[in-house]
A and B are shown apart, each in its own frame.
Chain A
Amino acid sequence: MQIIVAGNKKEVQDGLKLTELFVQEEVETPEYVTVSINEEFVPSERVKDTVLQEGDNVEFLYFMGGGSNGTDR
């Protein structure tokens, strides 16, 4: 089936799990990555059981620091 990952069309196996996509896409620290499918966030407790469907539009949103430290905590 075809899905869209970060804006790019990808051919993946039918019934691919989200967790399997993490591996295929080499997602770093997936437990701290926010996922949206078809412009809806996947609640963290549902990531494990999420199975992708034909045409799904998947986005990975990563924590990113950078800049200068504004707090000393």
Chain B
Amino acid sequence: MALTDDQMERYSRHIILKEVGAKGQKKLLDAKVLVIGAGGLGSPAAMYLAAAGVGTIGIADADEVDLSNLQRQIIHGTADLGKAKVKSAKETINAMNPDVTVHTYRQFVTSENILELIQDYDFIIDGTDNFPAKFLINDACVMAKKPFSHAGIIRFKGQLMTYVPGEGPCYRCIFKNPPPKDAVPTCKQAGVIGAMGGVIGSLQAMEAIKYILGVGKLLTGYLLTYDAIEQEFHKVKLPSHTENCAVCGDHPTITELIDYEQEVCTDGLK
């Protein structure tokens, strides 16, 4: 279908880019991105995807909006306190851009539901805050051959990497197994500067958009780290020898999804 006059106007700053054009904008409108976690990372990621005209956005989160979320989770407002995060996120996106169809999943991701959740999407954004979820998303995306963006934020630091099947290491290539409960600090314990979610979550949206457009270099094979105190980005080249990885290697030992029993780093509800 051709772009409408309104769409030509709304996306004019995209369409004028030679890397996008009307053709690229149509790709975005036809694309489906799932955002897991409507929090510090998922808020800006989902909002930039929505503004960009990504036609279908899924939002998965089981939580409700809590007062302590609002310092960084900009898709929610004060009037949304107590509301399901997925509902609040959907309302924000609907108000931003009527071109976007929002699917909401008011659930935590588990080994039982994740493969079904991700199967209809072209790209997945990991906006979760805890390691069981991060390993689950990684393993599910490796098994289902889905590209995804991993990210983490804490204090004044953030990082992200992109996994594309067959094009570089996965999260488990680097981190092997989740750390034991409380072994590494969580956001709730250690704090996080609110704008960090904006920096890193926007970069996740950028990765998704570039993947959909087929433009430029993705963070496959690299971990991009950001230190706000030093005001420095650093791109860490990851090892390319990952044939021993337990999930994406040549002889995977993890062939079923695992629900790690671990802590939740909630934003204050539990």
Contact = CB atoms under 8 A, between A and B. Distances in A.
B157 A64 contact: yes
A24 interface: no
Nearest to A38: B239
- Quick one: which of A28, A61, A65 has the most chain B CB within 10 A? A65
A69 B40 contact: no
Range for the number of chain B residues in contact with chain A: 35 or more
A20 B58 CA distance: 46
Interface string B120-160: 00000011111111101100000000000001111001110
Given A68-B127, A72-B264, A34 B158 contact: no
Contacts of A70: 36-37, 60-62, 108-109, 126-130, 133, 137
Interface in B161-207: 174-176, 179, 183-187, 192, 196-197, 200
Given A39-B239, A59-B236, A68 B42 contact: yes
Contacts of A61: 174-175, 223, 236
B26 interface: no
A66 B155 CA distance: 9
B200 to A, nearest CB: 8
Given A70-B37, A70-B137, A65 B223 contact: no
Contacts, number: 151
B86 to A, nearest CB: 11
Nearest to A44: B176
16 contacts: A39-B237, A65-B131, A66-B129, A66-B158, A66-B200, A67-B128, A67-B151, A68-B42, A68-B61, A69-B39, A69-B266, A70-B126, A71-B108, A71-B130, A71-B133, A71-B259
Interface of B: 36-42, 60-63, 69, 73, 85, 108-110, 126-134, 136-137, 151-154, 157-159, 174-176, 179, 183-187, 192, 196-197, 200, 223, 225, 234, 236-241, 259-262, 264-267
